[in-house]
Structure 1
Amino acid sequence: MNSVENLLEILQLKHLKDNQFEGVSETVGSPNVFGGQVLAQALNAAYRTITNGRVLHSLHSYFLEAGHLEYPINYDVSIMRDGGSFSVRRVTASQNDEVIFILSASFHKEEEGYSHQIEMKTDIKQPEELMSWTDVLEEYGSMLPTKIKSFLEIPRPVEFKPTHIANPFDKVDLPPYIDIWFKLKGDNADIADLNLAIRQQILTYISDYNILSVALQPHASKAHWGNLLTASLDHSMWFFREFDFSDWLLFSLETPSTGNARGFARGNIFTRDGVLVASVAQEGLMRPIKK
């Protein structure tokens, strides 16, 4: 999956009957279904039941079981409320009659009100000055640890450019924050006509990349992907303003706390000119593997 078209094919669900839909999976380098895929597919199912033009403003979800790549995922949407201003949907995802994921999403009609936002960092490098994951693979692939190299070799529809790339062989603890630019691959003409609902689904898909990795950074002298059992436990997002994918977006992440084999991370997504688009929060499992 290395294009926007491929991604849209994965996110667009097959309608079964009533408010029931079915999706297929594509690996991102993990043996299980990528959490961002389930999030975005569940959002696609929820949006398919919104007929009053309301727009997603928040979602909250829990990952209950690992998803199997080879089996289809069934999404069942419950219409919880269609009020005067808000519509709420609950989506249950299952495989082989076992619930693997639940999501609640709230949609809001357009209204006028007060507005403010926090500022984006101004002292970070621009994407043109940075190496992408693809660049790292091409330049240092032969020197990378096997698991990292295998992960970077998976084709993706998104390009990522961290503002700092840590040397995996340096066993030192790192700051509790990271900043990562990202952009959809391909020509802007391919994404110019995407409506807001699809753009939100794509952003939800991307939001599950990188977020748990920041919780490892303060423990990088000891912890890494090879000696931890990791999994997303929950995921929440809040959408604030219009955006598109014509330019790079910045995901600024921080980890306020880790403990009890769990890591908590949160982040803000900005346009290049500093407009705050969305905020994200996730807690994930970080269980040391005992030899």
Structure 2
Amino acid sequence: MTDSASRNLDFDNVERPTPAELTAQLVDLLTVEKIDNDRFRGRPQVDGIGRVFGGQVIAQGLQAAQASIGDGKVAHSLHAYFLRGGEEGPPIDYTIARDFDGRSFANRRAVASQDGTPILNLTASFQTPEDGLAHENMPFPHVADPETLKSDYQLRREIFADKLDLMSEGQRRFMVRPRPIEMRPTDGLHWMSTTPRTPKSQTWFKTVGKLPDDPALHRAVIAYASDYTLLGTAAIAHGLSWMRGELVGASLDHAIWFHAPARADEWLLYDTDSPWSGNGRGYNRGRIFTEGGTLVASVAQEGMMRKRRSKAN
């Protein structure tokens, strides 16, 4: 895209695929190709620019691990470490190590690389489903129903429609780009606030179209979406924002525990908080609920979070 073309980007003239097309693009993005024994390749994001979204690498790594496990066992947790920022455009290769195969549990390691350079290490654990002692001690948050809320896209359009000319190309693309996952924050665009407050946030999300009936794919989509909004929760406590250029940051690690099956094309609530930040890092937690109140996943992430220093005149 030329600079003049990017300057003309706005909410009205950007090409808007149908919900079905956007969802198909996401399914294609998260469907890894087997290229050899325990070697897989992930496709790049269509029209991607800049650094690869961390949720994409996590989800593709999980899909590669799931493809190597066979039938009978399902992923119940993953732990990932971001090593380097990936670059949009080149494909990402995933190499699987089969560390353990037991009767009830199995373990896989996935190394994501671009041009032979590792960018992420992921370990996933799998279990044969079974009955067991069960309890939930995580009350469902009291939040507005998703159908009563405006989408993230609608809020961005209302606030930034007449401010796009003041933004960089990357910021404009972020604002106007249609996305396969619809997000409806319960507290508006918290990254617009300059007032420090308790670092908590709630956002409803689901794919804009229907997904195939593949539980492994739904887990991958949830893993993909779990990287949205999470790192920014720690910034709420300081009234600072990455979008305003006030912070420098990057995800360092990411963990997910899958508690129960869930459909990613039905509304899920992402309830996040940040108990701590310091030493140039921010720690964040997330809980994902169905609209009926079932806790289906827990998430934790730590990221680098530094206040951007002003350039000397």
Q: Deviations over 1:120-171 (max 9, x none)?
A: 4352111122111121133222355736654231221000011001576652
Q: Of residues 59, 70, 73 in structure 1, which corresponds to 2:89?
A: 70
Quote the offset at 1:3 in angstroms.
1.6
Contact between 2:183 and 2:203, CA under 8 Å: does it hold in 1? yes
The corresponding residue for 1:14 is 33
The corresponding residue for 1:164 is 187
Q: Of residues 68, 74, 77 in structure 2, which corresponds to 1:49?
A: 68
Quote the offset at 1:27 in angstroms.
6.7
Contact between 1:28 and 1:151, CA under 8 Å: does it hold in 2? no
SS of 1:212's equivalent in the other structure is helix
Contact between 1:251 and 1:268, CA under 8 Å: does it hold in 2? yes
The corresponding residue for 1:38 is 57
The corresponding residue for 1:279 is 298
Distance 1:160 1:30, change over 3 A: farther
Distance 1:62 1:246, change over 3 A: closer
User: Which amino acid letter does the alignment assign opposite residue 179 of structure 2?
Assistant: R
| Structure 2 unaligned regions, length at least 5 | 1-16
The corresponding residue for 1:268 is 287
The yes-or-no answer on 1:181 pairing with 2:204 is yes
| Equivalent-residue separation in structure 2 for 1:248 and 1:166 (angstroms) | 19
SS of 2:133's equivalent in the other structure is coil
Quote the offset at 1:46 in angstroms.
0.5
Q: Percent identity, aligned pairs only? A: 37
| Equivalent-residue separation in structure 1 for 2:139 and 2:302 (angstroms) | 23
User: Which amino acid letter does the alignment assign opposite residue 205 of structure 2?
Assistant: F
Q: Of residues 238, 249, 260 in structure 1, which corresponds to 2:257?
A: 238
Matches within 5 A, 1:42-191: 42-143=61-162, 146=167, 150-166=173-189, 170-186=193-209, 190-191=210-211
The corresponding residue for 1:259 is 278
SS of 1:3's equivalent in the other structure is helix
Q: Deviations over 1:53-102 (max 9, x none)?
A: 20000000100011011211110000000012101000011111111110
The corresponding residue for 2:9 is none
Contact between 1:28 and 1:34, CA under 8 Å: does it hold in 2? no
Contact between 2:74 and 2:126, CA under 8 Å: does it hold in 1? yes
**Aligned residue-pair number:** 286
| Equivalent-residue separation in structure 2 for 1:201 and 1:183 (angstroms) | 13
Contact between 1:237 and 1:279, CA under 8 Å: does it hold in 2? yes
Distance 1:91 1:67, change over 3 A: same
Contact between 1:72 and 1:95, CA under 8 Å: does it hold in 2? yes
SS of 1:213's equivalent in the other structure is helix
**Mean Cα displacement is larger for which, 161-170 or 71-80?**
161-170
Contact between 1:239 and 1:277, CA under 8 Å: does it hold in 2? yes
Q: Deviations over 1:8-37 (max 9, x none)?
A: 111111211111011122179762000000
Q: Deviations over 1:193-220 (max 9, x none)?
A: 4211111011100100110010100001
Contact between 1:261 and 1:285, CA under 8 Å: does it hold in 2? yes
SS of 2:137's equivalent in the other structure is coil
| Equivalent-residue separation in structure 2 for 1:183 and 1:84 (angstroms) | 34
TM-score, normalization by structure 2: 0.86
SS of 1:33's equivalent in the other structure is coil
